[in-house]
Chain A
């Protein structure tokens, strides 16, 4: 039973426009959510996180929104750049251990 789900395997946007990547979760016992970006042939790198006590966290072009009632979070990238083209994973560690759960990822392609 996958507790963190990314239902869109891919997303294609035009440079300069907004990219919105979505993630749903089923377990209310998550206190934090994290987003990672992964380029081919590299390990994932941390992008941004959000605590469950907040509904928004912003870092430059990247903003993560958390809707606890819908058990949904989204990552907004504005404006999108070709260098943002990568696979994006959302992840959540449960409260009591480090059994970190990742979504399956969304491949973002930003066209010049």
Chain B
């Protein structure tokens, strides 16, 4: 089954404790990206990747890091999480820039 898998689905952590949210896709897609969804702000892109070792900033990259060492994986790293990073996060992948993106189920992160 074609899918994008994020882990964990739910995470509560404390300020400053490094964390990683994993994302994996099994569709051999070139493009992957991370989004956060906040009330009243919709979906905002954090980082995107157009291929292995090619990543770039989206609209809200501050406080986040990503890496793309393999085509299927695109982890999101919060080196020092802060409460303003409490949000619902989605990973997505697509075959091309103008083709439909497949989204993961989401990770609800709470930073206290």
Contact = CB atoms under 8 A, between A and B. Distances in A.
Given A42-B106, A43-B4, A100 B42 contact: no
Interface SS of chain B: strand
Interface SS of chain A: loop
B4 to A, nearest CB: 7
Interface in A8-45: 9, 31-32, 34, 36, 41-45
Interface in B89-110: 90, 92, 97-98, 100-106
A44 B43 CA distance: 10
Interface residues on B, range: 20 to 34
A99 B92 CA distance: 13
Contacts of B105: 41-43
B74 interface: no
A46 B101 contact: yes
Given A91-B43, A98-B56, 10 more contacts: A9-B40, A32-B98, A43-B104, A44-B92, A44-B103, A46-B100, A99-B58, A100-B48, A102-B44, A102-B45
A91 B4 CA distance: 19
Given A43-B104, A98-B48, A103 B56 contact: no
A104 B42 contact: yes
B41 interface: yes
A89 B44 CA distance: 12
A100 B101 contact: yes
A34 B100 contact: yes
Contacts of B90: 43-44
Given A43-B90, A43-B103, A46-B101, A98 B42 contact: no
